[in-house]
Structure 1
Amino acid sequence: MMRKFHLVEDKSPTHANLIRFLKAEGWKPSKFSALASVNEEWLEFSPVISETLEYKHLLASFLQENDLGYLMPETFFIDDQIWPLVLADIGSSQSANLPWILKPSMLNNGQHIHIFHDLNDVETHFISHHRMGGPQVLQRYIDKPQLIQGPTFGHKFSIRELLVVSTHVGSALFPSGYLNIALKPYQEDNFNLLEAHLTNEHLSDERLNVVQRLSDDMAIFQPYKQGIISMCQLVVKSLKKQFATVWQDSQPRIACFGFDFMVEAEGNKLWLLEVNHGPCFPIDDSHPLFNVLYRPFWKQLIKRFIDREPSNFIALD
């Protein structure tokens, strides 16, 4: 059988990579969607899933509704109208004097993020006029994260794992991920130096904010591997339960997600922080992780989800 695909290359980094690696496997492009065994419909996964995972307030409420709230640091939806109620609610709990991080619910690039020492600082922020409006989440800030020892100081890190959901062959986790390690040493009390606290790839401009390392190469990652698999299994199971109709679909569809985790030093506790849909996959071989992570990721994805052959992905359902 002639293996043909019909995909629009410049639609997304996922499209570009899929086209490149399908061609490398001997697939041929087709001008007609109907004649292609892999077409745009394959990448049109229900938006309810990507929004539930990617929008931070929806992820928090999804986890809470499915008794999985414990996977994520305490998180509250907050906006211009309800902030006094939210702060009053937290103020009457034991969390009042803890540090908090405020993140826009629908942005992912580290912009408009603020860290506060306590609720009073949060209140001062919401009273001021120089701030961003719209839906946000207020989350307990992990101010004592597990650190990676640098030349002189400890550096904060987060763990990014690649997960693929599908309507036709289940969901699976790629066995390799990477660590985003902040270039600036961690400063526990200086919340103004965001570069030391946020492990986003870029913050304000094109300058890199982190160094990325394959998780398999980092001894510090190994104790958390099984916990990450278990947490991903719980999330997938709840998604399939809550949005059952999405999976009752005869059309094969896939969606790629980046799941971000962090480890709290006390008790070495693993937390799920956030999820990105269609994470910004590099399309250039010069990316330091391209050959060690992304090339095998795409080759194995095609094996498992398109050719339906054994792969080294870890099944989650």
Structure 2
Amino acid sequence: MTILGLSAGNPDGSAEILLKRALRAALERGADASLVRLDDLELPMRPVGPGQDAGADDGPWLWDRLMECDGLIVASPIYSRTIPGKLKLVADRLSGPAADVAFAEKMRATLAAGETPAVRFPYDERVFRPRVAAFIAVGGANTSQWKSLALPLMHQMTFSAHIAVADQLLVGGCGMPRSVVLDEDALVGADRVGRSVADQLGRAFDAVEYRGEPGLCPMCHLSMVVIDGTCVECATCGARGTLEVRDGAAVVCFDDPAAREHSLVTLAEKRAHAVEVQQTAAVQGAQAAKIERRAAPYAEIDLRVTPGTARPGRSRRS
């Protein structure tokens, strides 16, 4: 059983130190582990296309590492309340239809029936491999408002591929480089993260136990919510609940199992989303000529300014 550690911070910085602690704890549990620094990779915004230098894009290599692992631990610093752009880019490259188990289910069934899919999406059988994950986010601030967006955005790494999250660790107060070594609770927490993943490698999604700090949402275990009257929606995963008053205090409740099924964590919601996207694409695909005709005039407008140009962009017709 193998665990992939993704480091989105500085080499041997606080985030990577906690990641190494977690991976070491996993090794002690008998797992194999490897660490990938995102700084070591070439990851353009878009995949390299045919005829281009394949060596300029390590995205396919990273995709294979994700597809072949049994566990995933992602560690990131916190920049301006959230995660660095390079980790957002990785999440964009590794999530979506190619990694989505619901899209893969549909494609597998279509191909097995000998049918031609209405909309063809990338398909990799390895998506169905059961995996378990955890997140570590480290910031300099102690106050919660400067750290609140980090963990929610990291969940993009696991939603599509239906990877069960076993733990997550949010650490503050690390203002100096590597200063996390002074925080014994953070170090112990990283050990827990490594054990939470290593002890559950190979388990089916529904059999994975969450062992991190509890949150309001029973699905993603975070506490960021959107409130509309008495209706509540988890801002991270979409689970639905209610805002109630109990003993004079406002309480967020996620008691309805059917409302929790709206969470992106559930396979039911992934399947509903896949159907929605495919139906929309099929309807719009039938209008390809109309779309091309209406979009053509916008291609004639060129207002770009690029490095090295001395003039502003202008319409090609001017």
Alignment TM-score, normalising by the size of structure 2: 0.27
Higher relative contact order structure (alpha carbons within 8 Å, sequence separation ≥ 6): 1
Point out the structure with the larger strand share. 1
Alignment TM-score, normalising by the size of structure 1: 0.27
